[in-house]
């Protein structure tokens, strides 16, 4: 290894960036969205200076990462994304609780990635970004990237932190971390049908768990999981067009998922809680927001001509595995049901009287702190938000304006997809057949919502929690640590015994 | 042959004393037998034609260290 | 220059030894020996840097009394010694500077010079038995220094340390006798010629004894349990010296043994073919056949796991740091076992970085605790002297320990991960990488606990505080500078590794 | 004869290690260390032994001498062992003064 590699890995990325259209698209989208998201945050609650620094590091590392040429810079920037997020979370009211969950998983991911890079280096002898995927350690790298991408059994860090931070923070965070995980798969893993099917399965499971959520932010967090499934199916395919579709879906997702988070922030600050079923028909009092929400929902459900439609249809057309395609279609139906429910309950339906139904039973995410949201999101200027007094108007108008810009972006990215991202197939999204595939699943979804949702809901809520495995894991770990501690305290003769036993075992292994 | 037998007897005695050092009831007895043990080791050194080591062992091992042990035992068993 | 150079190895050992009775005399006469000791220690640290002057010969061999190396004692100032002499000197100096005047009385300074003489001797000697003698000098003075807190805990620590250390010495002595029996020589430089390229069982058994004795002194699992007890009971300045300087000297001896005894290092498994179980069984059998390097890799894995996991639950900073040392020496030993030039360079680099970082963190305790006894993590604060500076320096040191980029420790860990993976020990690579992750958890706990609180009672500010502060800042400064000088340091480490491998065969 | 002495050395080591792992009294622990050390010394001196050689004290005429280097090692080891013993005993006395116990398993100040 040349020692010169260590001087300033990040600067090396800046000096000689790797410019390909996929990386440019992702970086540009993250950068543009993050600027808007910063403006959105600035319009609301006042943050400390160091919060902005940490958030900037988080975003800047995410923007730089697509341009790296070598694995060392990739790893350094990956770590800076994590560190920035840790910094951001450290300024949240519940910092300690958040970090206890966020850190271990992220660090596990970093460690796995580091060792995968080591294995690759061991086989190939080079630290340059591999052209055909990692030559060794691809499985380990995939595990690391899956953690970062919040794939379903290891999604906890994402679903629990994004729902427990102050709502505006989630807007900023949603743009980078999971997307970096997916982008890493694009750069480092040479996929195949297995990865496509896995992506499809993640999309379906994510949507099912999203369907059972009652809190808005949990609902969005699980939709991130589901959308990541689409992206994995795309970038995990060996077909170039499917990969392009996956990347474009990633970019689209940054835009419309961020937009949805903004909508949710505004709903929460309007109503002071985040229960979907008690939003009381916000469409009447916030018509612009309702339009924005419809655009975002249409995008995520893949309705033409919005951006989600283009990427979804490209992915589905070019996947090599029919199973994966079928899974993605099912996930598309689920997404449509889910967002019809969101629009209906939040914007169009008059609320049921309080106490009716079982809304107050908390679902799978324990310790939901939605009830305390208004207190935390109260702006520093005082007297804004909750009941819409005049002081709130300026900031609310600014926020709405940002949301409108983003919804316009959804339309533009859908209509001018090929111009924006030339790697996409030129005519894939404009054939009659693709329109049909774009329209049918959402239509089925809307129908199913109208006809069967009330029957579906209890069944969904009886599903086992996706976090069943955490408790035995944590008790086991605690016991192990306690036993270790017990071995290390007290009698010095035990230490001597360890030494002699070690010596005998070593002799037995080495000599015999 | 005679040498072998006498060395074997010496070694057997050495081992017996060593075992007694470990298992003796009273620590004082163990210390005294440690002195005996050192003298036996000295004898073995002489047999092995190492008079320099034997002298050192006799002075330090059998004399000085035994004295240390006795002093330490004395200081830790007052009251 | 050459005349002087020829005597430098002797001076580096003899002058500290000379200082021992001198300082004792000064202390007995009632004068304050502290300033004399510091001045003299600083001179010794400077002398340790002399081999870096331009024009100094690449290797200096001093035969004591003109005897050749089979019979007499030979001191050899080679590249490895040149790298580690300043580490031992500077960290020892920092520890001595930071010594609490209340504890550093009587034979404290004479003992620290004995420690320095022993450490320098360990680094310089070219003879295994001579190394044993210096090891005992070093160990005995460190046992005595550990007990210098003069309370129950200090004595208990000292006694546990001496018991475990004595067992290690006995094992080492057996191993030395065995190696002498099979090879007929005790000089490091002659093992390669005296032993067959694939040593027999007796030679391997003896080498294992020597290595286990040294690993116990270093604190590698499962021979590490004494470490937390010893370092927690020691005066903080002594703990810093032991964890940084003395351990480096032991490490040098270990490297010398492993690089000179045939089959001591060099772990490289070929990728096997066939189905999964075929490959697995081939891997396991090759691993067992790898002998001492395979054993070292396994021990390093055990150290990383045990060290980091045990550190997770500690409530005292000193114990936490001790267990973290166990894990870090696991990293280092993995690099040594692999034994290629870059791996060895990574190990050396990490050993040097770790010495400074660990010493710095041990010096953080007297800065952040309000009494010698209270090093509980929950009661530490940065709020006595320049809280912001102390806090940020401490965070910087912990970043170095974890291996996060803008602090030293990242590059060396990165090399170790890459090289262990390349040598066919991917689990070691994964463990090294994962270890950093676990370390971040407990170091973050420390950082949050220490930075998040300011002391309400009135600050105590004394000259001793300023000294500790200065020593602490030097360590933190090293961690900062070393990151930006990684290229330079890595180049040095690589050249040292090359000469070490080339000279030893 | 070499075989007998080598066996004795190993047996002494075994006895010493047994004592180390079973004795509670700290002074007895130190005694065990002395046994262990005597065993190593025996082995080292045995290394130099040749049946036909004389003790390395120079006398008139040509004689085969026992190789003196291991003897030098053994003497050094004895001195080192003595100082270790002295230091251990000093610690034991200090522990007894401050803690009032001579039993190793009662030293548990560092449990947490």
Average pLDDT over residues D62-77: 79
Among D residues 22-81, those touching chain B with beta carbons less than 8 Å apart: 22-23, 25, 27-28, 30-32, 34-35, 38, 41-42, 45-46, 48-49, 53-57, 66, 68, 71, 74-75, 78-79
Chain A interface disruption, residue of D21, D30, D103, most A CBs within 10 A: D21
pLDDT band at A354 (very low <50, low <70, confident <90, very high): low
Which chain B residues are within 8 Å of D85, Cβ to Cβ?
Answer: 65, 68-69
Query: At a CB cut-off of 8 Å and minimum separation 6, what does A8 contact?
Result: none
User: What pLDDT score was predicted for residue C333?
Assistant: 94
Question: Are the beta carbons of C162 and D87 closer than 8 angstroms?
Answer: yes
Q: How close does chain D come to B2, measured CA to CA in Å? A: 11
Pull the structure tokens for residue A211. Answer: 């369907």
DSSP letter, residue C43: H
Give the CA-trace dihedral at C274, C280, C286, C288, to 10 degrees.
-160
Which of the residues C226, C313, C405, C498 would you substitute to probe the A interface, choosing the one with the greatest number of A C-beta atoms within 10 Å?
C405
Q: For residue A371, is pLDDT > 50?
A: no
Q: Which of A488, A489, A503, A504 to mutate to test the interface with D (most CBs of D within 10 A)?
A: A489
Residue A509 is inside which H or E element, if any? Answer: helix A492-511
Query: Residues A186-231: pLDDT tens digits?
Result: 888 887 888 889 999 999 999 888 888 888 888 888 898 999 999 9
Would you list the DSSP string of chain B?
-HHHHHHHHHHHHHHHHHHHHHH-SSHHHHHHHHHHHHHHHHHHHHHTT-HHHHHHIIIIIIIIHHHHHHHHHHHHS--
Is pLDDT at A369 greater than 50 in this prediction? no
Q: Check if B64 contacts D (Cβ < 8 Å).
A: yes
Touching A (3+ Cβ pairs <8 A), the chains are C, D
Give the pLDDT score at A3. 42
Tokens of A178: 């999971």
Consecutive 10-residue runs of chain C (505 residues): their mean pLDDT? 78 92 89 87 92 86 68 82 94 92 86 95 91 94 91 89 94 93 87 84 91 94 90 91 94 93 80 74 80 90 93 89 94 92 93 95 85 75 72 87 82 88 83 86 82 56 75 91 87 91 60
**C162, C177, C315 member nearest D47 (Cβ):** C177
Question: What span, in angstroms and rounded, lies between the C-alpha atoms of A407 and A424?
Answer: 22
- Judged by average pLDDT, the poorest of A152-161, C186-195, C311-320, D47-56 is D47-56
Q: Which one, of A311, A308, A294, A300, lies nearest residue A336 by Cα?
A: A300
Residue A370 banded pLDDT, cuts 50, 70, 90: very low
How many angstroms separate the CA of residue C399 from the nearest CA in chain D? 26
- D12 interfaces chain C, CB cutoff of 8 Å: no
Tell me which of D7, D25, D28 to substitute to probe the interface with B (most B C-beta atoms closer than 10 Å). D28
Q: How far apart are the first and last CA of chain D?
A: 52
- The pLDDT assigned to D112 comes to 52
Which residue among D5, D55, D90 places its CB closest to the CB of B11? D5
Q: Do C434 and A108 lie within an 8 Å CB cutoff? A: yes
Q: What is the mean pLDDT of residues D94-110?
A: 84
Interchain CB contact of D6 with C (< 8 Å): no
Contact D38 B19 (CB under 8 A): no
pLDDT in tens, C221-239: 889 989 998 998 899 899 9
Q: Enumerate the residues of chain C whose CB falls inside 8 A of the CB of residue D47.
A: 177, 180-181
- Report the C-alpha gap between C95 and C99 in whole angstroms: 6
CB-CB neighbors (< 8 A) of C404 in chain A: 79, 83
Residues of C in contact with D73 (CB under 8 A): 129, 176
Q: Name residues whose C-beta falls within 8 Å of residue A289's C-beta, 6 or more positions apart in sequence.
A: A263, A266, A267, A282, A347, A400, A403
d(CA C221, CA D108): 21
A372: confidence class by pLDDT, cuts 50, 70, 90: very low
CA distance D112 to chain A (A): 7
Distance from CA of A89 to the nearest CA of C (A): 13
A506: which DSSP letter?
A: H
Q: Whole-angstrom Cα distance, residue C203 to residue D8? A: 21
CA distance A129 to A120: 10
Contact D47 C315 (CB under 8 A): no
| pLDDT value for A368 | 39
- Answer whether C450's CB lies under 8 Å from A129's CB: no
Please tell me what DSSP assigns to residue C65. G
Question: 10 Å Cβ neighbour count for C276?
Answer: 7
**Whole-number pLDDT of residue C83:** 94
Q: A377 falls in which pLDDT band (50, 70, 90)?
A: very low
* Closest chain D residue to A494, measured at CA: D21
Q: Does C330 touch chain A (CB under 8 A)?
A: no
Return the residue of D nearest to C180 by Cα: D47
Of residues C131, C285, C284, C114, the one with CA closest to residue C211:
C131
Name the minimum distance, in Å, from the CA of D52 to any CA of chain B: 11
Q: Which of D21, D108, D111 sits opposite A497 (nearest CB)?
A: D21
Q: Report yes or no: C270 at the A interface, CB cutoff 8 Å.
A: no
* Binary contact (D78, B50; C-beta < 8 A): no
Quote the minimal CA–CA distance from C292 to chain A in Å: 7
pLDDT recorded at residue C424: 80
**What are the residues whose beta carbons fall under 8 Å from the beta carbon of D67, sequence distance 6 or more?**
D48, D50, D53, D56
What is the interface size between B and D, counted as CB pairs within 8 Å? 130
Partnered with residue C187 across adjacent β-strands are C127
């Amino acid at each position: 290894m040349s020692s010169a590699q260590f001087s300033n890995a990040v600067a090396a990325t800046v000096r000689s960036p790797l410019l390909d259209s996929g990386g440019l698209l992702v970086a540009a989208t993250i950068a543009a969205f993050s600027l808007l998201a910063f403006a959105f945050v600035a319009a609301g609650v006042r943050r400390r200076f160091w919060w902005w620094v940490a958030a900037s590091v988080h975003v800047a590392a995410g923007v730089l990462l697509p341009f790296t040429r070598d694995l060392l810079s990739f790893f350094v920037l990956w770590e800076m994304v994590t560190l920035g997020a840790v910094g951001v979370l450290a300024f949240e009211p519940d910092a300690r609780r958040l970090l206890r969950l966020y850190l271990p998983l992220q660090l596990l991911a970093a460690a796995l990635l580091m060792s995968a890079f080591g294995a690759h280096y061991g086989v190939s002898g080079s630290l340059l970004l591999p052209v055909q995927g990692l030559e060794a350690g691809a499985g380990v790298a995939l595990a690391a990237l899956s953690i970062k991408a919040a794939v379903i059994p290891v999604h906890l860090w994402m679903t629990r932190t994004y729902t427990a931070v102050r709502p505006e923070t989630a807007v900023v965070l949603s743009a980078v971390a999971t997307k970096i995980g997916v982008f890493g798969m694009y750069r480092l893993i040479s996929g195949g049908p297995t990865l496509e099917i896995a992506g499809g399965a993640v999309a379906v499971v994510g949507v099912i768990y999203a369907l059972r959520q009652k809190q808005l932010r949990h609902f969005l967090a699980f939709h991130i999981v589901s959308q990541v499934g689409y992206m994995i199916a795309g970038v995990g395919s060996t077909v170039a067009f499917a990969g392009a579709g996956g990347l474009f879906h990633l970019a689209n997702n940054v835009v419309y998922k961020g937009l949805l988070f903004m909508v949710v922030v505004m709903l929460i600050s309007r109503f002071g809680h985040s229960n979907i079923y008690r939003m009381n028909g916000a469409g009447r009092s916030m018509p612009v927001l309702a339009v924005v929400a419809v655009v975002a929902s249409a995008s995520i459900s893949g309705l033409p001509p919005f951006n989600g439609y283009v990427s979804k249809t490209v992915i589905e057309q070019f996947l090599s595995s029919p199973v994966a395609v079928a899974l993605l279609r099912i996930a598309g139906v689920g997404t449509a049901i889910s967002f019809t429910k969101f629009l209906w309950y939040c914007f169009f339906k008059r609320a049921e009287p309080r106490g009716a139904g079982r809304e107050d039973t908390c679902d799978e995410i324990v310790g939901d702190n939605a009830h305390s949201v208004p207190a935390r999101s109260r702006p520093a200027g005082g007297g804004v938000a909750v009941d819409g007094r005049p002081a709130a108007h300026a900031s609310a108008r600014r926020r709405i304006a940002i949301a409108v810009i983003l919804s316009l972006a959804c339309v533009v990215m859908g209509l001018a997809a090929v111009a924006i991202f030339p790697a996409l197939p030129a005519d894939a999204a404009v054939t009659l057949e693709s329109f049909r595939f774009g329209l049918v699943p959402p239509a089925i979804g809307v129908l199913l919502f109208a006809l069967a949702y009330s029957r579906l809901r209890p069944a969904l809520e009886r599903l086992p929690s996706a976090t069943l495995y955490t408790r035995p894991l944590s008790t086991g770990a605690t016991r192990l640590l306690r036993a270790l501690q017990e071995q290390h305290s007290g009698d010095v003769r035990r230490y001597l015994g360890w030494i002699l036993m070690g010596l005998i075992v070593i002799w037995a292994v080495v000599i015999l | 042959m005679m040498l072998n037998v006498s060395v074997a007897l010496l070694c057997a005695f050495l081992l017996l004393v060593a075992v007694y050092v470990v298992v003796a009831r009273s620590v004082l007895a163990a210390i005294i037998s440690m002195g005996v043990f050192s003298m036996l080791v000295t004898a073995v050194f002489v047999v092995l034609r190492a008079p320099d080591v034997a002298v050192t062992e006799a002075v330090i091992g059998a004399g000085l260290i035994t004295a240390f042990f006795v002093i330490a035992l004395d200081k830790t068993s007052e009251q | 220059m050459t005349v002087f150079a020829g005597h430098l190895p002797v001076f580096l050992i003899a002058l500290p030894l000379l200082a021992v009775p001198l300082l004792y005399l000064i202390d007995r006469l009632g004068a304050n020996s502290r300033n004399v000791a510091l001045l003299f220690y600083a001179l010794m640290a400077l002398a340790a840097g002399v081999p870096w002057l331009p024009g100094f010969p690449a290797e200096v061999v001093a035969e004591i009394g003109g005897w050749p190396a089979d019979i007499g004692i030979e001191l050899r100032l080679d590249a490895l010694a040149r790298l580690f002499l300043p580490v031992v000197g500077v960290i020892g100096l920092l520890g001595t500077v930071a010594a609490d005047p209340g504890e550093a009385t009587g034979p404290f300074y004479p003992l620290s010079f004995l420690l320095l003489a022993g450490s320098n001797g360990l680094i310089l000697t070219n003879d295994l038995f001579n190394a044993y003698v210096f090891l005992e000098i070093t160990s005995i003075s460190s046992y005595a220094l550990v007990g210098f807190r003069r309370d129950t805990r200090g004595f208990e620590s000292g006694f546990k340390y001496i018991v475990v250390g004595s067992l290690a010495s006995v094992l080492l002595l057996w191993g030395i006798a065995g190696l002498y029996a099979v090879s007929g020589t005790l000089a490091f430089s002659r093992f390669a010629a005296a032993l067959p390229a694939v040593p027999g069982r007796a030679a391997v058994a003896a080498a294992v004894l020597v290595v286990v004795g040294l690993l116990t002194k270093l604190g590698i699992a499962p021979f590490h349990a004494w470490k937390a007890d010893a370092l927690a009971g020691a005066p903080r300045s002594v703990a810093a010296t032991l964890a940084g300087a003395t351990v480096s000297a032991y490490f040098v001896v270990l490297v010398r043994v492993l690089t000179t005894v045939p089959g001591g290092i060099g772990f490289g498994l070929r990728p096997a073919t066939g189905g999964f179980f075929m490959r697995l069984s081939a891997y396991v059998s090759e691993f067992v056949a790898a002998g001492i390097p395979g054993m070292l890799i396994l021990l390093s894995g055990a150290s990383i796991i045990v060290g980091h996991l045990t550190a997770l639950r500690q409530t005292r900073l000193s114990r936490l740091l001790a267990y973290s040392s166990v894990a870090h020496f696991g990293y280092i030993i993995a690099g040594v076992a692999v034994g290629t030039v870059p791996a060895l360079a990574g190990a050396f680099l990490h050993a040097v970085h770790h010495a400074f970082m660990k010493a710095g963190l041990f010096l953080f305790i007297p800065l952040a605790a309000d009494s010698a006894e209270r090093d509980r993590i929950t009661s530490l604060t940065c709020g006595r002297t320049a809280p912001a500076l102390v806090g940020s320096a401490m965070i910087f040191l912990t970043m170095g320990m974890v291996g996060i980029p803008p602090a030293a420790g990242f590059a060396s860990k990165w090399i170790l991960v890459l090289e262990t993976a390349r040598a066919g020990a991917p689990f070691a690579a994964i463990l090294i990488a994962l270890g950093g992750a676990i370390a971040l958890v407990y170091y973050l706990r420390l950082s949050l606990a220490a930075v998040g609180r300011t002391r309400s009672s009135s600050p105590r500010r004394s000259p001793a505080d300023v000294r500790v502060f200065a020593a602490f800042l030097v360590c933190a400064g090293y961690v900062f500078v070393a990151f930006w000088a990684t290229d330079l340091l890595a180049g040095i480490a690589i050249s040292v590794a090359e000469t070490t491998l080339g000279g030893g065969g | 004869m070499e075989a007998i002495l080598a066996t004795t050395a190993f047996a002494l080591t075994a006895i010493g290690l047994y004592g180390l792992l079973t004795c509670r009294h700290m002074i007895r622990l130190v005694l065990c260390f002395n046994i262990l050390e005597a065993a190593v010394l025996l082995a080292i001196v045995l290394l130099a032994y040749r049946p036909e050689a004389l003790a390395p004290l120079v006398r008139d005429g040509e004689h085969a001498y026992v190789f003196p280097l291991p003897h030098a090692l053994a003497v050094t080891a004895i001195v080192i062992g003595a100082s270790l013993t002295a230091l251990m005993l000093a610690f034991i006395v200090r522990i007894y003064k401050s803690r009032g116990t001579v039993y190793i398993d009662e030293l548990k100040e560092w449990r947490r």
